[in-house]
Structure 1
């Protein structure tokens, strides 16, 4: 080989080395290599996934992502995290032996004081619990922070991460929106299934994210662990989750859009009907929409997103009946009502703005 050829060969190799260094590894890019348990736990709460692109549709129940696969079109009734078990503890401080939920607070307990719990909630942050997705698959959940609520000492906001088995990294399972870009979660007793029904399952609770209906209803005053005027607010909270999502049929499907303005009022007086105009609400533009029970609407005047009432009748046949309009008083008038329940049994009612004429309901997936 001549000296000139060797010089050209050396130059060609030097050009190829940077390209080889940045070449994609073989195999499908969407599947990450499994991570060992010790390394997995060491990675928790390191905020490795701050730049996710999320495009939520409709009003969410849990406020969580529907699927870890961002390319997949998932049903609105699916979630990467629907419930968490208080035991077993996947990872915890040496002195922490168990966890319990008291109202809206998670409390770590030790072997020496299982009844009292550790002082000031010590031992909660850093714990890894066993959760479950809507498809039944297990998912580990790390508690990365606990912020006492300034409005309610019996409640705390938690910063959580769940193990994304697809990407092999920890991620905040809560969906970020423009108004809440770094959402936290509340610990709420029991489990919500895909139909939106609540089940008071012993030993399990829900991490309800800040942008979901479960948390919104708590923020509006319906704390399910509290009472008002001598009555438990648990049923009012459940009815509120149906109302917030416009889940008329009680099947878990929403008929609304994010950030829709609502006026909510109930028969206990937790929230009263708004009569004065403000920057966020104009009573003159609003009208009665529906009355609500724990399993959906008891009667409707119209839909929130502009779809025809006939579409609701088809979605849940035999649930509602039409006929002469029913006057409820104070300007409230039902066009369709339940076949198995009186509108008077409603716990909550709401007003909303009528959608613009010709408005097309958003598609919320299959």
Structure 2
């Protein structure tokens, strides 16, 4: 299997043609955004809903690897220094708060898309009740639906959330490089601040394009899918840990934007890349870690170049020193998770390692 067929490298350009599925409802002109640090006067409910779904999503074709889990903004307050694991939107409910179609009483999640009870019913303009990482409610409007050109099970949604600080609707997804107005996938399950996933009846995740939840699905680990009768949910979860270099399984990332990686799994969905290309040179990469749903099961080195001891201090009870494990094909662990077999890991990866220059952290999660 070639590199292009696998789409292994985080940072590889993925062509995603934006096909308009439905047009948003006519709305009033968007109010001018208040200056940074100032709070706008509260809008009435009728005015708030009349102003939803105003911007049009341009075409885009770039998928950079990075540190974010949900791919969302950390906080609506641009003057506040938000914690790395915070998010303005971590989940949404399937019961509409505001209907686009009078007949749509509830939604259901099917694979990687939302469905109305009856065919032909539009979801565009529907407002759902979402939740931020701090537990506060946030309204989410569905402003567009674009069927994926790569997978009929997936639909790209253009969403807006109500920014209570600026008193306006805003895309909660973080824009990176060539994705100025990122879209989102509807993914089953809810992820908490530690990066752990759990099923919550009636709730799902709007996972933005630049977050690990969506990227792992695009790499082939669709959490709603299966391989040989085995669910891919746990493999997808292990991928979200690997994509962000969340070694301790506590939600903290140890990577940087656009870091190339190569991954391969036990089920054979993705195999190790051995071909040299402009995007990847196996000879310059080395084994980094083996992964399970709760983080690294064994570790050789860090992806961002920090000392291995730093990670061991971050989660002192997780890894055992002096327990070298040979996994085969040259993969060798320096430390391994206590009580876990590295050879039973769902996923392994290679990476380049230390980056020559330090950059500012991504503005979201």
| Structure 2 partner of 1:270 | 269
Structure 2's unaligned 5+ residue stretches are 1-34, 59-63
Query: TM-score of the superposition, structure 1-length normalised?
Result: 0.84
Other structure's SS at 1:292 match: strand
Partners of 2:260 and 2:253 lie apart in 1 by 15
Partners of 1:183 and 1:74 lie apart in 2 by 21
Change in 2 beyond 3 A, CA 1:213/1:356: closer
Other structure's SS at 1:333 match: strand
1:10-36 C-alpha deviation (Å, 9 max, x unpaired):
xxxxxxxxxxxxxxxxx9961100101
Change in 2 beyond 3 A, CA 1:124/1:28: closer
| Structure 2 partner of 1:60 | 68
Other structure's SS at 1:236 match: helix
Matches within 5 A, 1:322-341: 322-341=321-340
Q: Deviation of residue 162 (structure 1)?
A: 0.2
Change in 2 beyond 3 A, CA 1:48/1:103: closer
- Bigger drift between 211-220 and 177-186 goes to 177-186
Change in 2 beyond 3 A, CA 1:329/1:49: closer
Other structure's SS at 1:71 match: coil
Q: Deviation of residue 89 (structure 1)?
A: 2.8
| Structure 1 partner of 2:300 | 301
1:68-99 C-alpha deviation (Å, 9 max, x unpaired):
00111111110000000001433331121211
| Structure 2 partner of 1:204 | 203
| Structure 1 partner of 2:26 | none
Partners of 2:90 and 2:40 lie apart in 1 by 24
Matches within 5 A, 1:113-152: 117-119=118-120, 122-152=121-151
2:65/2:260 contact within 8 Å kept: no
Query: TM-score of the superposition, structure 2-length normalised?
Result: 0.85
How large is the Cα RMSD of the aligned pairs? Answer: 2.2
Q: Deviation of residue 118 (structure 1)?
A: 2.2
| Structure 1 partner of 2:107 | 99
Other structure's SS at 2:116 match: strand
Give the number of equivalent residue pairs.
324
> Quick check: which one's helix share is greater?
1
Structure 1's unaligned 5+ residue stretches are 1-26, 51-55, 110-116
Other structure's SS at 1:337 match: strand
Other structure's SS at 2:107 match: strand
| Structure 2 partner of 1:175 | 174
| Structure 2 partner of 1:164 | 163
Which portions of structure 1, spanning 4 or more consecutive aligned residues, are displaced by more than 2 angstroms? 47-50, 88-92, 359-365
2:65/2:243 contact within 8 Å kept: no
1:57/1:364 contact within 8 Å kept: no
Partners of 1:151 and 1:245 lie apart in 2 by 24
2:47 to 39, 47, 65: 39
Partners of 1:140 and 1:262 lie apart in 2 by 36
Partners of 1:138 and 1:330 lie apart in 2 by 49
Look at both structures and tell me which one has the larger radius of gyration over its CA atoms: 1
Q: Deviation of residue 356 (structure 1)?
A: 5.0
Partners of 1:326 and 1:242 lie apart in 2 by 21
Change in 2 beyond 3 A, CA 1:28/1:320: closer
1:48/1:171 contact within 8 Å kept: no
2:65/2:259 contact within 8 Å kept: no
1:196/1:250 contact within 8 Å kept: yes
Change in 2 beyond 3 A, CA 1:360/1:320: farther
Q: Deviation of residue 324 (structure 1)?
A: 4.5
Other structure's SS at 2:114 match: strand
The answer to which structure, 1 or 2, has the higher relative contact order (CA under 8 A, 6+ apart) is 2
Matches within 5 A, 1:12-91: 30-47=38-55, 59-91=67-99
Partners of 1:292 and 1:308 lie apart in 2 by 19
